[in-house]
Structure 1
Amino acid sequence: MRSPVCAVTLLVSACFTAALLSVQANGAGNVDAGKAKSGICAGCHGPDGNGGADPTWPKLAGQIPEYLAAELQRFKSGTRDNAIMKGMAAGLSDQDMKDIAAFYAGLSLKPGAAKSKDLALRGQRIYRGGIIDTGIPACMSCHGPSGHGIPPRYPRLDSQSAGYVEKQLLDFRAGRRVSVDAVMPQIAMRLTEADIKAISEYLAGLH
């Protein structure tokens, strides 16, 4: 049986290996074209990409464009299961996805704020140091010390809606969402609900 420390090392190594081996999509998106194509997206993600009325809907402003385009591909193929997003992505071409991703990547992310200082402090400890006893690596190993992610695969998480982050971690833990490299389900299954709330709260105020 692998020790928790060994598990942490393997998971962190997987993050960097996957990032290095990821093949970026050919060509770049057109920001102006993306703006013209993104009108319907504003209903949930806000006109400036900083989120809508439902806290489980993500902020898209400033997100890594390759990640956004890849997730749209996953919604379209059904690899990432979401009925609303599958419908939205169904009619998009590869170039449409790159254009929309480029538009949102160029928008300014508004700084968020944690609602609970105590929860955020607990989340900070996990994000920066992991939980060695249960084999949880530091989140910043893949998402960066400032939460800006590692292009092209690992998304930006700073100032992200706490409700969205919490839902995604719960979905990873329950097997409702999968990741390309299987790292996130392995991590999430070791997190308690209290851990998840703490990480989500910390990220909401990270900027």
Structure 2
Amino acid sequence: MKTYDRIRVAVVEDDEVLREAMVEALEPDPALKVVGAFADAEAFNAAVHERPPTVVVMDLNLPGMSGIECTRRLKLHWPQVQVLVCTVQDDDDSLFNALCAGATGYLLKDARPAQVVEAVKTIASGGSPMSAGIARRVLASFNAPRKAAKEIDLLSQRERQVLEELARGLRYKEIADTLNLSIDTVRTHVRNLYDKLQVGSRTDALNKLYPR
């Protein structure tokens, strides 16, 4: 893989041991290029202006600016950058606040190094990787009382099924295999449900239907 084809990854983690461990896990993979490792959001923000990475592995509990606020500001200026949260915080507020800020993946720090590497690749290719318990919590939101009941009623049964698979973090091909559809059909359903909900991404759709 040529250098310019590699996924550019930045790590924002205040724990030096964990930060170095993440870099050591990511660097050997030929598909990835670690472009920076930062102990706080301020140092990352100062560096990101030069050339934004493809994916940021972001802790939430950072000194100074929180990972959630850093994610929000990052997505405001560089919406194309994908944020993979990697944290010890597994409470609902942290999870949904991170998703509302624009994170598209959420791993707990008990994830193995190989899982982090795979999650970076998944998020770069359009998926939304989540630790199993986190994914179950997001899916549970579909059964919780919600203010947006009228909006979800706009969706067809198939569109709801596709949205549930998007919430699990599956990519289009995986959704197609799960629901026995073609990828083009999945794309059509996604486009239609986004139009009905007046959103532009899976994160926006979930945030709109299941606000916290």
TM-score after normalising by structure 1: 0.31
TM-score after normalising by structure 2: 0.31
Name which structure has the greater RCO, CA cutoff 8 Å, separation 6+: 1
